[in-house]
Structure 1
Amino acid sequence: MRTFGSLLVRGLIVGLFAGLLAGAFAYATGEPRIDAAIAIEEAGGHAHTHAEEEHHDEEPLVSRDGQRAGLFLATSLYGVALGGLFAVAFTLLRRKLRTGNDAYAALGLAAAGFVGVVLVPFLKYPPNPPAVGDPETITRRTVTYLLTLVIGLLAVWAGGALSRWAERYGDLARLAGGVVGLVGTVVAAYLILPRINEVPEAFPATLLWQFRFASLGTQATLWLLLGFGYAVAVERRPSRSKVVAA
């Protein structure tokens, strides 16, 4: 029987590699869109006051080369932290996952985590390039994003709870219950939360959605690798003595 320490170490290692590869995906797909968005923002900044021009000419605290290098550090640290949390969640929820296979349990947990942590917030508040948005509203946008994150996790829990309740009526009812619990919670929350759209009308829609899908792809890569990597790490293999005896 595996100890929690063993499961945690596996989660941290898998998370590290998932974060590195997700960083490579973000570098290849997201960085060119960020550079293009910054170029558009700088090209449209001709109507500045004298004070704004002096502020605009100031060198950024971190250069673009430094930001690109820091991307891999950020995704690696995020992957390690997420891998640790994933291992804790796996340990706590393993018995509630209706499967006798640890690998399937890890994949199911990763899928639920992606939906709740990434997909639900993305559909309501898709990310914008760094050069887009009003800096004065960053607090409001941060709070609303965190709310959607909590709602996403709540929606996954509601879907699972309703699915287990409907299990007595058959597999089809179980599936329908899970969908209703998940989608119903998300729709109700979306109707209550405010709409935020600070993208200038002149900003190219193609570039905007390329950046957003690159961001979503980075998260999908991270969760996909985390799920499959952890599934391989916890998959039970027959011991050598059993193989020899067979």
Structure 2
Amino acid sequence: MTPRNFLVRGLLAGFLAGIFAFAVSYTVGEPQVDAAIAVEEAGTAAAPADAAPADDGHTHSHSHDEGGTVVSRDNQSTWGLATGIFAVSTAFGGVVGLISAFAVGRLGRLRPSQSTAVIALLGFVAAWLVPFTKYPATPPAVGNEDTLADRTLYYFTIQAVSILAMIGVVLLARRLLSGLGTYRTLLVCGGTFLAIVVVTGLLLPTVNEIGTFPGDTLWYFRRASLMTNLTLWAALGIILAGLVGRLYEQETAKTARRDLAASL
């Protein structure tokens, strides 16, 4: 069971997980994007007729502007959405596969398929769930374009801290497990991780640029984002754990046959 075996299976699992994530995003998420765009366009239409239209940074039409081609909303919600999701899910799959290869035999008595599932779960919490709780996804028409760079920096800061903290508590758990046992180790490491991300979240600025945007539309959009990412990570973990489990069974059977042949 080499890192290459895990990488190939991780990439495959990520691509397959992207199929499920795209289905959820297209059926659940895109209607909420359309609803947000409708709110945005309604606000623009309500502006004074002599006011210059504001550049909101979003693209919703099928026309062309002076600076280049404007991507149509139909392409954004189909090919554009699929390309983005498959690229991200495949990349995540490869990363989780490599980390799972490193984790084999290092997470207590867990079998490779079990440790792989744990890595996927921890990855979901550290890389997506924690940043989402501080800076949840926002639809078009929400947020000041002038603060986009700052908001992006805040998001990646808490994401980086969360990932590093997760790596740290996993390494800590390996040291504490033999002395404290599973239950106490989980309490100590879980509490340590929670304390780090909570303090980080409190230190980082709070972003509140919702304005008069409808609360129900915002909630439905964020719920769709949660459903999409939960589907992606769950599918990735389940598929990759299954592929790794099958690989482990094949390698175990091969080793058993080799040992049997050597004993004859």
CA RMSD across the alignment: 2.4
Stretches of 4+ aligned residues off by more than 4 angstroms:
48-51, 54-60, 240-243
Cα deviations by residue, 1:125-174 (Å, 9 ceiling, x for unpaired)? 00100221111111011111100110111231243244344431233321
How many residue pairs get matched?
A: 242
Mapped partners of 1:54, 1:122: distance in 2: 28
- The CA deviation at 1:175 is 1.7
Mapped partners of 2:108, 2:215: distance in 1: 43
Q: How does 1:25-174 map to 2 (within 5 A)?
A: 25-45=24-44, 46-47=46-47, 50=50, 52-53=52-53, 59=63, 61-69=70-78, 70-167=80-177, 168-174=179-185
8 Å contact from structure 1 (residues 160, 181) kept in 2: no
8 Å contact from structure 1 (residues 111, 227) kept in 2: yes
8 Å contact from structure 2 (residues 14, 236) kept in 1: yes
Single out whichever of 191-200 and 85-94 deviates more from structure 2.
85-94
8 Å contact from structure 1 (residues 166, 177) kept in 2: no
Mapped partners of 2:71, 2:149: distance in 1: 22
Cα deviations by residue, 1:13-35 (Å, 9 ceiling, x for unpaired)? 11111112101101111111110
Partner-residue secondary structure (3-state), 1:53: coil
TM-score between the two structures when normalised by the length of structure 2: 0.84
TM-score between the two structures when normalised by the length of structure 1: 0.89
The answer to whether the aligner puts 1:4 opposite 2:3 as a matched pair is yes
Residue 67 of structure 2 corresponds to: none
Q: How does 1:5-24 map to 2 (within 5 A)?
A: 5-24=4-23
Mapped partners of 1:162, 1:240: distance in 2: 35
8 Å contact from structure 2 (residues 137, 222) kept in 1: yes
**Counterpart selection for 2:207 from 196, 199, 222:** 196
Letter of the 1:68 partner, please give it: S
* % identical aligned pairs: 36
Gaps of 5+ in 2: 65-69
Q: 1:192 to 1:93 in 2, by over 3 A?
A: same
State the structure with more CA Rg: 2
- The CA deviation at 1:242 is 5.7
Mapped partners of 1:5, 1:240: distance in 2: 18
8 Å contact from structure 2 (residues 11, 91) kept in 1: yes
- The CA deviation at 1:221 is 0.7
Single out whichever of 182-191 and 230-239 deviates more from structure 2.
230-239
Letter of the 1:198 partner, please give it: E
- The CA deviation at 1:100 is 3.6
8 Å contact from structure 2 (residues 36, 139) kept in 1: yes
Cα deviations by residue, 1:17-65 (Å, 9 ceiling, x for unpaired)? 1112101101111111110111011111222574633868984721110
Single out whichever of 85-94 and 43-52 deviates more from structure 2.
43-52
